Structure 1
Amino acid sequence: MWVLIFWVLVINFLSAQEKFTVKKIVFIGNEKTKKEVIARELSFGVGSQIDTSDLAYSENRVYGTGLFNRVKIWAERDSGDSSIVYVWVNERWYIWPFPILGWKDRDLKKMFYGAGLIHTNFRGRNEKLIFSFALGYDPWIEAEYLNPWVLGSKNLFYSVEVFYQRVKNRSKILEEEFGSFYERHLSFALTFGKRYGLYKRFWGSIGFKEISTTGEVPYMKTLSPSGRDQMFVFGGGFRYDTRDIPIYPSRGFLVSVGYKFNRLVNCDCFFLQGGLEFQGFKKIGIGLIASRFFILNSFGREIPVYSHFYFGYNERIRGYFNDVFEGENIFGGTVEYRIPFVKQKFFKWNKAPLEEFSILRFGVDLVLFGDFGNTWFNREKVLKLRYLSGCGVGINFILPYDLILSVGFARNDTGRGQFFIDFKGGFE
């Protein structure tokens, strides 16, 4: 039924807009942020011939950096067909200690809590320094530094991360046989990359990871009979991203490819994992078509249980929202038609304790959706799998600071219906 509704609503209007030449770009409101950090997100420069749609697109690109509460870009005629473009931003508060309270795997029963310290715009260059820890479900401690722009015009970026976490076993197969157990994950990763133009990024990484388990029969839970896997991890990938806002976009698409090679040092084992993701967003008729498709595969003589893929945790199929499906490979997709019920608007909170918290974004979308996918092990025949699916209707609440709350009703391919509440109304 939802497919029929989509087709009824598919009406696309095209309109031509008058173009003008950019004579000068003026930046306003960026007291801490370097103007080049903003300029590199613009789809135009001085001398470019653009129209008002380019201004709207670049406005969302700058907002999508996460550095600003609000962004406005407009042009004023100067002489002839040339114009001066003004870029106004309202900066967020960039450095603070912050509380951590949430739940893992989109499950309200898996609460965690903690604290951290973050600088989201170190040196005014969108560099990030993060230290955090959490207790409760799957406790962790992490330190990370991200620099998205190294050596100016070279367009290089890098990040360094040290991470430790205790993880409750996710495998229902092993839990039924041996009971519940925990994994301890310790990792160090160094990532380098290069940005080509506005949309393309290549990256490579090297790191070290140690994973150990608790309980009996450790040889069933790790590749090493000792119950402790130590490995070097080498990765690489490519990302092409034209989305205007990474969280809840209104236009553009994403293509991402990445793989990681895991070579154990304490036993003669290795495995390769990775895959492809596509996201697309296009305004059609009175709403927006939003789609996402992904596939992740595992290659190797044996794949450790801690590297299995799942539906029912971070990835979900609405209609099977709380059901867990496990495998060494996973494939899934989502198609949504989002109709603005309350158009996204910015509100001024005059009594905000700090100016950086004074501008808030709200909006409500009615969503018609369809999900599908499945997991499988390497020994299974993919063509003989029964793919799971669900469709339904929901409401997405677009809240300040990039929070998305989704509530709705879904019915799966067996006819079972269910209500759901989710904090992943976007695709990130």
Structure 2
Amino acid sequence: MIALLVSLGEIKAQDTSLSPVNPSTPDSVKVNNIFIIGNEKTQKSIILRELDFTTDFVYDWDTFMGIIKADQQKIYNLRLFTEVEITPLFMNDREVEILISVKERWYVIPSVIFQLADRNFSEWWTNQGRDWSRVNYGVKINHSNVGGRNEKLRFSGQLGFTKGLDILYSKPYIDKKQKHGLAVQLTYADQKTIPIRSAENRQVFYTNETESVLRKNFATAIRYSYRRTFYNYHFVTLGYNKTWVSPDVLVENPEYFQHGDNELKYAYLQYSFRHDNRNVAAYATKGELLQFTATKYGIFYTKDLDEVELNLVANKYFTLSDRFHYAAGLTGVWFLSPQQPYTLVRGIGYSPNFIRGYELNVIEGQQLYVQKNSLRYKLVDLSFDISRFMPLEQFSTVPFKVYLSGNFDHGSVTDRNNIPENARLTNKYLFGYGAGVDVVAIYDMVLRFEYSLNNQGEGNFFFNFRAPF
């Protein structure tokens, strides 16, 4: 009996020694190893690239926990995973092992194209009278993780209102240090109905009597990217564009291309700097986005076009509490010349430069600024496990969030040409305000339902498929 009790005591002591170590919060820790699970397709190096900590280094505990939280968000914003979790596992009171657990998305998504050709849903519903001929349809194939290296491959063939072909391949890293990347794109499109000008701050569309093709566009570009730090990106793009229009278009608008010919050809060079530190890229509630872009149209042959365009985007997202957050965004566009070919015309009403309440309008000019504001309240935050009905693990969990928003946008467009038929809204201070419901669902899908009024006394209900900024 005594021997049996001694043996049980030894077993109990052994079991206790195998239980997890739960020390009090340490002042500092050293990372011994990093383990990744769940990455069946994605290469380990793509995930490790986002980490701001390394092994065999001692970190202050509070600083280390902040790093883990930021790194978890960076990995999620790769848009390769539906779930990301980084967990420190204590080996003793001073050393940890890091476990990174990810749940991969479905990367190859063939889909049917069925989308409106107009600027937004409200333009099609109200201004175009819900005309079903203004719908594009076709086939699109997206591969968002070619070879497990976060490479993107997109192919789309489109018929309907706009016939087109689009091929894009991008490789984020072409070097061992994972700083330099390349992307190439080729697009072609032709249309039988095109906007040729604006009047009364709305687009004027034209179709000739024979319903023949009025515009053909071919474009190709190669882009070099440099990611020096986690949140800062540099892009240099060299591209070529060729646009042909029917002579009938120049009868309707002789200044469509400005130089009197029905063909516009130019090469362009573009530089863009992007600082992106948002917690969720598709619908941010914390962080900031800053982007500056300069484009020179006409670099080898400037007879058709010689123009410079500058763009600025500056967004800031503030978490006020667990339920409330505030988002503010500023965009600006500047052309240096007083007039542009109509294919380059910018203004409020063209993505992403919207003032809520003016979705039905286009306010065209050479300079613009738009400042947007949203105060949002998280009403619903749920996640549904549908694994019993869905055999694919990538779709087994459906997140569902609902936000209530109060919105105020304002801005103006400077038109140096002072076109009389657009004078109601150009060169004037404009603002719009209202309330909305934002739904954020699986794979960062965003649906917005808003009612907005503007300072012209006009109000309407608007529906959109993406976050406003």
Judging changes above 3 Å, is the alpha-carbon distance between structure 1 residues 346 and 199 closer, same or farther for their aligned structure 2 residues? farther
Judging changes above 3 Å, is the alpha-carbon distance between structure 1 residues 360 and 385 closer, same or farther for their aligned structure 2 residues? same
Q: Does 1:169 find its partner at 2:195?
A: yes
Secondary structure of the residue aligned to 1:401 is helix
Which residue identity lines up with residue 416 of structure 2 in the other structure? N
The equivalent position to 2:235 in structure 1, one of 158, 183, 203, is 203
Judging changes above 3 Å, is the alpha-carbon distance between structure 1 residues 165 and 21 closer, same or farther for their aligned structure 2 residues? farther
1:2-401 map, 5 Å? 20-21=28-29, 23=31, 24-46=33-55, 47=57, 48-49=59-60, 50-104=63-117, 105-107=119-121, 109=124, 110-153=134-177, 155-166=179-190, 168-169=194-195, 171-173=197-199, 180=206, 182-214=214-246, 215-217=248-250, 219-263=254-298, 265=301, 267=303, 269-285=305-321, 286-300=323-337, 302-314=339-351, 315-343=353-381, 345=383, 347-379=385-417, 385-401=427-443
1:145: how far off?
A: 0.5
Q: State the partner residue of 1:404.
A: 446
Judging changes above 3 Å, is the alpha-carbon distance between structure 1 residues 302 and 413 closer, same or farther for their aligned structure 2 residues? closer
Q: State the partner residue of 1:417.
A: 459
* Distance of 1:237 and 1:19 partners within structure 2: 42
Which residue identity lines up with residue 405 of structure 1 in the other structure? L
Secondary structure of the residue aligned to 1:171 is strand
Secondary structure of the residue aligned to 2:389 is coil
1:148: how far off?
A: 0.8
* Distance of 1:377 and 1:81 partners within structure 2: 65
Judging changes above 3 Å, is the alpha-carbon distance between structure 1 residues 45 and 360 closer, same or farther for their aligned structure 2 residues? farther
Show CA shifts across 1:26-81 (max 9, x none): 21100110111112223433335434444333222212211112212222222224
Extract unaligned runs of 5+ from structure 1: 1-16
1:106: how far off?
A: 2.0
Retained in 2: the 8 A contact 1:112–1:134?
Answer: yes
Judging changes above 3 Å, is the alpha-carbon distance between structure 1 residues 335 and 20 closer, same or farther for their aligned structure 2 residues? farther
* Distance of 2:362 and 2:442 partners within structure 1: 31
TM-score (norm 1): 0.87
Retained in 1: the 8 A contact 2:400–2:441?
Answer: yes
Q: State the partner residue of 2:20.
A: none
Pairs aligned (count): 409
Judging changes above 3 Å, is the alpha-carbon distance between structure 1 residues 179 and 257 closer, same or farther for their aligned structure 2 residues? closer
Output the aligned Cα RMSD.
2.7
Retained in 2: the 8 A contact 1:106–1:424?
Answer: no
Retained in 2: the 8 A contact 1:171–1:326?
Answer: no
Show CA shifts across 1:336-356 (max 9, x none): 111110125464433214222
Judging changes above 3 Å, is the alpha-carbon distance between structure 1 residues 257 and 176 closer, same or farther for their aligned structure 2 residues? closer
Retained in 2: the 8 A contact 1:311–1:375?
Answer: yes
Secondary structure of the residue aligned to 2:310 is strand
Show CA shifts across 1:296-346 (max 9, x none): 111236411111113234332212221221122221121111111012546
* Distance of 1:402 and 1:183 partners within structure 2: 34
Judging changes above 3 Å, is the alpha-carbon distance between structure 1 residues 345 and 280 closer, same or farther for their aligned structure 2 residues? farther
* Distance of 1:91 and 1:170 partners within structure 2: 45
Which residue identity lines up with residue 294 of structure 2 in the other structure? Y
* Distance of 2:392 and 2:450 partners within structure 1: 35
Retained in 1: the 8 A contact 2:275–2:290?
Answer: yes
Which residue identity lines up with residue 175 of structure 2 in the other structure? L
1:127: how far off?
A: 0.4
Show CA shifts across 1:226-267 (max 9, x none): 210111111112111111221112321111111111117373
Show CA shifts across 1:194-248 (max 9, x none): 1111011111111110012232426421133221011111111211111122111
* Distance of 2:358 and 2:204 partners within structure 1: 26
* Identity within the alignment, %: 23
Retained in 2: the 8 A contact 1:70–1:359?
Answer: no
1:170: how far off?
A: 5.9
Judging changes above 3 Å, is the alpha-carbon distance between structure 1 residues 170 and 84 closer, same or farther for their aligned structure 2 residues? farther
Judging changes above 3 Å, is the alpha-carbon distance between structure 1 residues 282 and 44 closer, same or farther for their aligned structure 2 residues? farther
Q: State the partner residue of 2:127.
A: none
* Distance of 1:178 and 1:37 partners within structure 2: 47
Secondary structure of the residue aligned to 1:220 is coil
Is the strand fraction higher in 1 or 2? 1
1:178: how far off?
A: 8.6
Judging changes above 3 Å, is the alpha-carbon distance between structure 1 residues 422 and 99 closer, same or farther for their aligned structure 2 residues? same
Judging changes above 3 Å, is the alpha-carbon distance between structure 1 residues 426 and 67 closer, same or farther for their aligned structure 2 residues? farther
TM-score (norm 2): 0.80
* Distance of 1:39 and 1:377 partners within structure 2: 49
Q: For CA contacts below 8 A with separation 6 or more, give which structure has more relative contact order.
A: 1
* Distance of 2:203 and 2:293 partners within structure 1: 33
Judging changes above 3 Å, is the alpha-carbon distance between structure 1 residues 100 and 205 closer, same or farther for their aligned structure 2 residues? same
Retained in 2: the 8 A contact 1:275–1:294?
Answer: yes
Show CA shifts across 1:121-155 (max 9, x none): 11110001111122223332111100111102151
Q: State the partner residue of 2:5.
A: none
Judging changes above 3 Å, is the alpha-carbon distance between structure 1 residues 79 and 336 closer, same or farther for their aligned structure 2 residues? same
